[in-house]
Amino acid sequence: MRQIDVHQLADEARFNRFHGLVLFWCALIIIFDGYDLAVVGIALPSIMKDLGVDPTRAGFMVSSALFGMVFGAIFLGTVADKIGRRKTMAICIALFSIFTAAAGLTRDPVTFSIVRFLAGVGIGGVMPNVVAHMTEYAPKRIRATLVTLMFSGYAVGGIVAAILGKGLIETYGWPSVFFAAGLPVLLIPFILKSLPESMPFLLAKGRHDELKVIAAKLEPSYRPVASDRFTVPAEDKADNAPIKRLFEDGRGFSTVMFWLAFFMCLFMVYALSSWLTKLMAGAGYSLGSALTFVLVLNVGAVIGAVGGGWLADRFHIKVVLAAMYALAAVSITLLGQPMSTAALFVVVGLAGASTIGTQIVANAYTGQFYPMAIRSTGLGWALGIGRTGAILAPIVIGILVGMKLPLQQNFIAISIPAVLGIIAVLLIDHRRSASAHHHDASAEIPDAPDRVSVAKHA
């Protein structure tokens, strides 16, 4: 009887069409997710004018989705480890597609805020699940690259919202960009059919035939036989108390450090996305450059995410992440200094790379840190706690802007969380991570006779 370690199987597999399919679906879901999150910011001036909303109420309308994301990341990230990620992702897509489209039908701020809150639950729930899924199936040697490449779809969604939104709003009005967000619901049947389920979940449910099919796709040289038995390391087995396990096996302190790092990074991301254009306009730059600033920020985010992932696969991901926080501190501080427009675009791009890009690399590190069975839960809680930073950022920076401080002081305030983020990342105990544990285990027991990798016996 052969025992197949599914974690080792995924680690050692060569990238093939199966991995490409997982990458395609996860990236597409994240693009839709990014569009749904960015679309309100693009349409907000038109919404305020059409509904007669003042800036204070408009701020609450925008924040309603962020509040929903906190609940979605925590609740649906945890639920996925119990009912399966594929089903949970389908629920999330239905939530953010249907309720974002419904926002286009609303005619008052309260109803708009309610449906955006419900859409936010889906938006927040998707993120930990797609990262956990891509992390589980990606080959170890290119894992960070694939996860960050997939998650850069978030920035692509923002770019699509900025470009598509301008044309649609001018021609058909602001509700049109919300109606367009309902289209992904049509893809749910295809996603349920094409996307594989989480392997530890299938193992816990005794669905071994499905595991054999997935194993053969992960490693095409594998030939299943009736006597094959699948297994995962003890810490990867699904159980009924995943939240408690975030603090077991010496992971408790590092879990809190991940929460702190996420809080600080998301604070910077939403401080910039909410106030960059306003601050730059106050410094004398044309408001007509707003769209260009959004595009440059998101293009920088894609470059930072993919570049950071590439570096993380070649150097220690923890060191790479700390360096990205350091770049954020420098680039955001420089935004407050006088410079040419061309130089400003470069610095804005670096700020996007080191804030949005840093968050994407942080997602990848979190996915690698926790065992398979609690990966969605770990990432969901980190994103959920981190979202409080996203909620506070527009309010805190808004207060500072209202105090009419010099431009430099506003950007210094936005950069301070980057320094705290560096400290939090450096304090994470990488020895407690799942990736370090599996590396040590494979070094101690290279080839146990009753537990072998498919690549060696196929």
Task: Tell me the pLDDT tens digit for each residue of 292-331.
Answer: 777 788 889 888 888 888 888 888 888 999 999 999 999 9
pLDDT at 444: 39
Distance CA 181, CA 36 (A): 6
Of 194, 151, 434, 147, the closest CA to residue 313 belongs to: 147
How far CA 40 is from CA of 61, 79, 177, in Å, comes to 9, 28, 9
- Name beta bridge partners: 448: 451
Of 262, 255, 260, 281, the closest CA to residue 356 belongs to: 262
Distance CA 370, CA 378 (A): 7
CB 114 within 8 A of CB 65: no
CB 116 within 8 A of CB 68: yes
pLDDT at 371: 80
Query: Distance between terminal CA atoms of the chain?
Result: 14
Burial class (CB in 10 A: 0-12, 13-18, 19+), 59: middle
Distance CA 365, CA 59 (A): 32
pLDDT at 117: 92
Mapping DSSP onto H, E and C, the string for the chain reads: CCEEEHHHHHHHCCCCHHHHHHHHHHHHHHHHHHHHHHHHHHHHHHHHHHHCCCHHHHHHHHHHHHHHHHHHHHHHHHHHHHHCHHHHHHHHHHHHHHHHHHHCCCCCHHHHHHHHHHHHHHHHHHHHHHHHHHHHHCCHHHHHHHHHHHHCHHHHHHHHHHHHHHHHHHHHCCHHHHHHCCHHHHHHHHHHHHCCCCHHHHHHCCCHHHHHHHHHHHCCCCCCCCCCEEECCHHHCCCCCHHHHCCCCCCHHHHHHHHHHHHHHHHHHHHHHHHHHHHHHHCCCCHHHHHHHHHHHHHHHHHHHHHHHHHHCCCCHHHHHHHHHHHHHHHHHHCCCCCCHHHHHHHHHHHHHHHHHHHHHHHHHHHHHCCHHHHHHHHHHHHHHHHHHHHHHHHHHHHHHHCCCCHHHHHHHHHHHHHHHHHHHHCCCHHHCHHHHHHHHHHHCCCECCEECHHHHC
Distance CA 29, CA 22 (A): 11
pTM (predicted TM-score) = 0.74
Identity of the residue numbered 348: V
- Name beta bridge partners: 229: 3
Residues contacting 131, CB < 8 A, separation 6+: 147, 150, 151, 363, 364, 366, 367, 379
Question: Which superfamily is assigned to 3-197+240-440 in CATH?
Answer: MFS general substrate transporter like domains (1.20.1250.20)
Distance CA 338, CA 344 (A): 9
Which parts of the chain register pLDDT below 50?
287, 438-458
